[in-house]
Amino acid sequence: MKRRWIILLLFVFFFGIGVYYILPPKIAVLTYHDFVEDTIENNMQIREETFRRQMSFLKKHHYRTLKLKDIDCFLKHKCRLPKKSVLITMDDGWKRELTIAAPILKEYDLDAVIFYVGKNEDGENENFLNKEDLETLQEDYPNIEIASHSYNLHYPEAYLSSKNDITKDIHHMKKIIKKPYYAYPYGKSTKEYRSALKKEGYKLGFTFGPDKEHRKLTIDDNPFLLPRLNFSTDVPMWKFILRLIWLS
């Protein structure tokens, strides 16, 4: 009897291991916003020290940081990704994504994406990256991609804009960023919004938020409704690891 139980447990264990390696991975898409050296002023800021510990963990434990084209390829069932794969994203184009986050990412040789709000290119708001900053990123940090977070639709109700207005905004943004990837402002979209992106040649659209879509990306997800995990503020290291490994 005891021997049967041992055989059964071994079967379940090895079957589970086999399934784990055969099934496509679930991809954690990490989302950050602003960065600070010390004191946090809101829940969209993370301290430099916390971010460094998280990136160090990814490097130490051999996570592969993806590019947007990898996600596109994965969703089209054209390529396999390692189980330890993550996509690091940063929203809005805050100045400290360049001055704080970028050097850390480069130090650990990790790829990442900035979803940029195009209207800030003129430099009127000094808290955000301007045209010269974007050039610096491209020259000094080739590990960081720049993709669209809209040109001037970054406000809570923007997703309710008409398809015509969304299309005009896309055309403005294409003069600055030509990559066919998009993160919806405030994570919200409509059928018309997604239709406009598809018509203009975009391949991926990312959501954001702590609701039911706060989970990992799967190979069966709609390419224009891709979920992301919110890591925009400080969390204990154990919580970061737990969400990275176990959150479904």
Q: What is the pLDDT along the chain (248 residues), one digit of tens a residue?
A: 566 655 545 444 344 333 344 568 999 999 999 999 999 999 999 999 999 999 999 999 999 999 999 999 999 999 999 999 999 999 999 999 999 999 999 999 999 999 999 999 999 999 999 999 999 999 999 999 999 999 999 999 999 999 999 999 999 999 999 999 999 999 999 999 999 999 999 999 999 975 555 789 999 999 999 999 999 999 999 999 998 987 55
**Model-level pTM greater than 0.75?**
yes
Is 136 domain-assigned? yes
Is 12 domain-assigned? no
Q: What is the CATH number of the domain that holds 192?
A: 3.20.20.370
Is 4 domain-assigned? no
- Count of domains observed in the chain: 1
Is 167 domain-assigned? yes
With a CB cutoff of 8 Å and minimum separation 6, the contacts of 101 are 32, 35, 51, 90, 112
* Structural domain containing residue 65: 25-246
Is 49 domain-assigned? yes
Is 71 domain-assigned? yes
Residue 50 burial (CB count, 10 A): 19
Q: Cα 187 from chain centroid?
A: 12
Is 5 domain-assigned? no
Is 176 domain-assigned? yes
